[in-house]
Structure 1
């Protein structure tokens, strides 16, 4: 990832200040003072001047409050902070020192937009006129024109990012699948998401019970000393009624999808998983003709939320994890009984910090899911859990599953399905490489977290999925989209 410590610190400082003021009931009166507090001056910390830095802080405050940074809200969760993006090079094509200022001027002749002119030592490309067609680069005999693709655009798997006439990145909400890959690729910290921080703080201040639901990807993110029990203790100190691990929802989803897969297999139909919201967004926005193939089973997050609300209809449910697309699942997909709010790890920790709470080492004693539910966060984990459910219910089938790990593999699998050439019976789609453990808001790099994650999960008991689900009233709520 490109984001350095300075960018991360600024983001966290803004979230902490907003959360703290929201708890104190002083956000309205003190909001405009936050930029001055974080950027006191007189010297700038990371931009050309303190005035631009303060404007960036103002836009970040809007995002933390769940608002759009622009005057018009396009509804997209992922947003571009224009004042930060303006520092990025605005032309994708630049003339390098290899230019020989040749007499033929093939580059000038190839340009249909009058964007290239002759300079004293080399040709010059006017970024305001350049349409990035790349013809000049192709015809240059010295390979002197380099095409520079911005990190945000380069990492977007669905080509949802373009530039406006001033070179500021634009995200097309009709294409964006909310995967968040662009966020940490930006070296200027110019892309971020709206948050539910203030909403969650207000819920915690109310008299309603508020439950945190912790993603299966969490184990190993903070080493072996920070366990699920650590999070449970911290959540209660922060004001949450309780915390439940969403690996339990993984068990619920696996059991439900197993039934779907068996039925579909018998009928000769193909199915895709539905637990990765970015994958679901990819299908609905880029392959809408395949929407009927999506499993009707709700995500593990939704399953746990429905279980909580079946017991207490007045409850507020808050999912915590490394996924930004989960925010779009609760905001855009409008699934009955789903989580009310979603927080990333950094957002949750900002709320904790505002209450002077920190994660502390505890024994690894809290377990509410099977190992299969815990492994839902790994690429291939959904498949493993579904096949385990079939084994437990003696409904095993000769199912062939395409385990699409990462956006590129997801796109390839969907293209084959669209063309009627997919050899497998089912697709497990995980847009993030490695699965949820490789999510854009992960705390630790996947390879580093993997060892700690393995040790923590190895300590879990070996209960089977249906054995575990027998502890809960599964008839009290549905695991399917209504």
Structure 2
């Protein structure tokens, strides 16, 4: 997939691959880590920054993230999303800037409209002092030549909750109290200055120690690698890498739909509105920005990832290591949520899985055998509207009337925020909100492997081959009484 950050992604994945090789060989010491910096950036001329020294420092900090450690500028942070400061220095500090369209006119509408003394005449055009500018936008509005532009930095523009600001040097700063770990800032930054912690080293260590390590592949997996790579092919590749086995999290979608539908139906009877519990970034938005609605309106049912992790630990042993694989950065924060026991031990993205595979010389290959654990409804959890459809399907399978149910399907940070503001103000005229921070749902996640249109096309082909099993009938094949489907871990 050709993306605006393709070169950055390639660099990041090369670094992860080299770190994985060190981990497999038991060479993850300071000397070998430093050697990676010189292998990636041999010099003597720089490749993409001002000098090889800065480039090597950026690689050093990416190696730190690849070991799931905090960067030196954030030693105490619990956030999985962190800023690589040496890479963050080429964006304009000013939000409003005067262009060459400025005619240096006599009217000076920009100067007269500024109440903060931020605008002064320069030699050839007007000048805006960024230290005095309050970003009110009046100068841009009043300029008759439209010579003043609003330059919103891409990381800040991508953040749906206003968690990004800048220090006095122009470095990006993430407010951990506001950040929902959606990861949208990571791929929006054209300098690769924002990254997330990667847990591949921990996974390799568990495999080398002989532990049972289970890969749990998200419903969004189907279609990510083309229509020839089925879930059976992904399972085969995971086993070649060293995973004990692989299970599709679409089964967890069936589990979540079954329990969430019962919860929704009860809430509908009581006149309560509810939100879904699958998207971790949406849950983080609720928890941090709408705490009352988090307490009163969020479903208490666990996400499909947590459901499968608890299922695996209940059937294979509590010491089993569970690893979620998907397109989501926020899932990494969900795995760290201590209020939800039994969740995935580690979370990796599709790109991180590919780096792990390359470190062992493994590639995806088509296979003949079939593999299906979930219904097609569970598989469609990855798409916007898929969760709601599965929940309604469960109600209908129980014979419950769903004709008068009103749903709101929100895909994208802006839509989710708007829906929650309506819910908070008491103006929401629907019964349930399906919230997904990524546009299009999980298939449009920040760490998707291909362009969304390619993924959707391949998914249609692959899911079209699945059988039409019902959700509740499918769950009769699994020991649902052996583990909890509620966030706090209580059993019914």
Q: Flag whether TM exceeds 0.5 (same fold).
A: yes
**TM-score scaled to structure 2, two decimals?**
0.94
CA-based RMSD of the aligned residues comes to 1.7
CA distance in 1 between partners of 2:337 and 2:136 (Å): 35
Q: Could you tell me which residue of structure 2 aligns to residue 147 of structure 1?
A: 150
Q: Which moved more, 1:128-137 or 1:7-16?
A: 128-137
Is residue 202 of structure 1 aligned with residue 205 of structure 2? yes
CA distance in 2 between partners of 1:273 and 1:254 (Å): 10
Q: 1:446: Cα distance to partner?
A: 1.2
CA distance in 1 between partners of 2:205 and 2:151 (Å): 45
Q: Could you tell me which residue of structure 2 aligns to residue 190 of structure 1?
A: 193
Is residue 362 of structure 1 aligned with residue 364 of structure 2? no
Q: Could you tell me which residue of structure 2 aligns to residue 22 of structure 1?
A: 23
Is residue 317 of structure 1 aligned with residue 322 of structure 2? yes
CA distance in 2 between partners of 1:180 and 1:300 (Å): 20
> Matched residue of 2:277: which SS?
coil
Structure-to-structure mapping, 1:374-453, within 5 angstroms:
374-397=379-402, 398-453=404-459
Q: 1:299: Cα distance to partner?
A: 0.4
Over residues 314-366 of structure 1, what are the superposed CA-to-partner deviations in whole Å (9 max), with x where a residue is unaligned?
A: 10000000000100101135411100000001111111111111111123611
8 Å CA contact 1:232, 1:243 repeated in 2: yes
Is residue 297 of structure 1 aligned with residue 298 of structure 2? no
Q: Could you tell me which residue of structure 2 aligns to residue 11 of structure 1?
A: 12
Which of 469, 474, 478 is the aligned partner of 1:468?
Answer: 474
Q: Could you tell me which residue of structure 1 aligns to residue 183 of structure 2?
A: 180
Which of 348, 352, 356 is the aligned partner of 2:353?
Answer: 348
Over residues 60-79 of structure 1, what are the superposed CA-to-partner deviations in whole Å (9 max), with x where a residue is unaligned?
A: 11111112222433222111
> Matched residue of 2:215: which SS?
strand
> Matched residue of 2:388: which SS?
helix
Q: Could you tell me which residue of structure 2 aligns to residue 280 of structure 1?
A: 283
**Structure 1 residues 382, 45: closer, same or farther in 2, change over 3 A?**
same
8 Å CA contact 1:2, 1:186 repeated in 2: no
Q: Could you tell me which residue of structure 1 aligns to residue 332 of structure 2?
A: 327
CA distance in 2 between partners of 1:308 and 1:118 (Å): 68
**Structure 1 residues 456, 156: closer, same or farther in 2, change over 3 A?**
same
Q: 1:91: Cα distance to partner?
A: 1.8
Q: 1:114: Cα distance to partner?
A: 5.1
Q: Which moved more, 1:130-139 or 1:155-164?
A: 130-139
Q: Which moved more, 1:254-263 or 1:117-126?
A: 117-126
Q: 1:399: Cα distance to partner?
A: 1.8
> Matched residue of 2:184: which SS?
coil
Over residues 388-432 of structure 1, what are the superposed CA-to-partner deviations in whole Å (9 max), with x where a residue is unaligned?
A: 111112123332111112222211211111111211111111111
Which of 31, 40, 45 is the aligned partner of 2:42?
Answer: 40
CA distance in 2 between partners of 1:241 and 1:461 (Å): 26
CA distance in 2 between partners of 1:421 and 1:120 (Å): 54
Q: 1:259: Cα distance to partner?
A: 0.8
Over residues 198-251 of structure 1, what are the superposed CA-to-partner deviations in whole Å (9 max), with x where a residue is unaligned?
A: 111111111221100000001011111111111111111111110000000000
> Matched residue of 2:186: which SS?
coil
> Matched residue of 2:439: which SS?
coil
> Matched residue of 1:213: which SS?
strand
CA distance in 1 between partners of 2:48 and 2:345 (Å): 36
Which of 94, 98, 101 is the aligned partner of 1:91?
Answer: 94
Which of 169, 172, 180 is the aligned partner of 2:172?
Answer: 169
> Matched residue of 2:389: which SS?
helix
Q: Could you tell me which residue of structure 1 aligns to residue 214 of structure 2?
A: 211
CA distance in 1 between partners of 2:206 and 2:134 (Å): 48
Count of paired positions: 482
**Structure 1 residues 25, 276: closer, same or farther in 2, change over 3 A?**
same
Is residue 73 of structure 1 aligned with residue 76 of structure 2? yes
Unaligned runs of 5+ in 1: none
> Matched residue of 2:343: which SS?
coil
Q: Could you tell me which residue of structure 2 aligns to residue 237 of structure 1?
A: 240
**TM-score scaled to structure 1, two decimals?**
0.96
**Structure 1 residues 98, 399: closer, same or farther in 2, change over 3 A?**
same
Q: 1:103: Cα distance to partner?
A: 4.3
Q: Which moved more, 1:410-419 or 1:375-384?
A: 410-419
